[in-house]
Amino acid sequence: MGSETIRALRSVSIDIHQGEYVSFMGPSGSGKSTLMNLIGCLDTPSGGQYVLNGSDVSDMTENELAEIRNKEIGFVFQTFNLLPRASSLENVALPLIYAGYGKAEREEKAMKALEGVGLGDRYHHKPNELSGGQRQRVAIARALVNDPSIILADEPTGNLDSKTSYDIMDLFADLHDKGNTIIMVTHEDDIAHYSHRIVRLRDGEIETDVKNDNPTRGNPYKLEQEEA
């Protein structure tokens, strides 16, 4: 910024293994979004090295990074980022167009992904015909459709009410049980506790990196109803 150098991250060194479920937490300006962008190949480090599945992506070209993003990473955003005029099926199938799949195979894989998140009966609905939770499920199906190495979730419950948030986190827990690697950014402590490892950042550095031995399971609202 002008003559001033802002270091979003400072000497961060971290290993995330296949099959892990990790949350990044920290106040605004802590560096968690920058770290997420680096892991998602949306940005490149000004120094150091980032190795993804054995490949050094630190010095890749924009085209190479785009290919890595499409093949290796499934993104889930706070604002869903769905095409408003496209159906659920079309939204989920979108990454497959860039991957070179034919129409019939795209639709088959997209339908399977929608069924996997419990929305097989909503494949023809557009985003404005869905609830917030359903839209996030469509976004999760889109993230899964290419069988990525990593699911990156940036504040995935930020636009949802508490009950719907816990439903979505229950879905993430199921996805992790199936072997998916999940990396999530959240500022909500109760949401972070669904993950198995919580990394807290402050001023561009890792403040703590703690294993969560008792991850949350289930939706507290549903549990209360069952007990009642």
Classified as helix, coil or strand, 34 is helix
pTM: 0.89
Percent of the chain clearing pLDDT 70 (strictly above): 96
At residue 226, the pLDDT reads 52
Tokens 């494949």 sit on residue: 123
pLDDT tens digits, one per residue of 79-128: 899 999 999 999 999 999 988 899 999 999 999 999 999 999 999 999 99
Alpha-carbon distance of 159 to 89, in angstroms, equals: 22
Tell me yes or no: is domain 22-45+58-227 CATH 3.40.50.300: yes
Retrieve residue 106's tokens: 């795209």
DSSP three-state, residue 129? helix
Over residues 149-173, the pLDDT tens digits come to 899 999 999 999 999 999 999 999 9
Q: How far apart are the C-alpha atoms of 26 and 119, rounded to whole Å?
A: 33
- Position 219 pLDDT exceeds 80: no
Report the SS3 class of residue 124: coil
Residues 6+ apart with CB under 8 A from 122: 88, 114, 130, 134, 138
Q: Which two tokens stand for residue 51?
A: 């190795």
Give me the pLDDT at residue 222, please: 61
The model's pLDDT over 32-56, given as tens digits with 9 standing for 90+, comes to 988 999 999 998 888 899 999 988 9
pLDDT, tens digit, 9 for 90 and up, residues 65-74: 998 998 899 9
How far is Cα 220 from Cα 86, in angstroms, rounded to an integer?
A: 34
**Mean pLDDT for the chain?**
91
pLDDT given for residue 228 in this prediction: 45
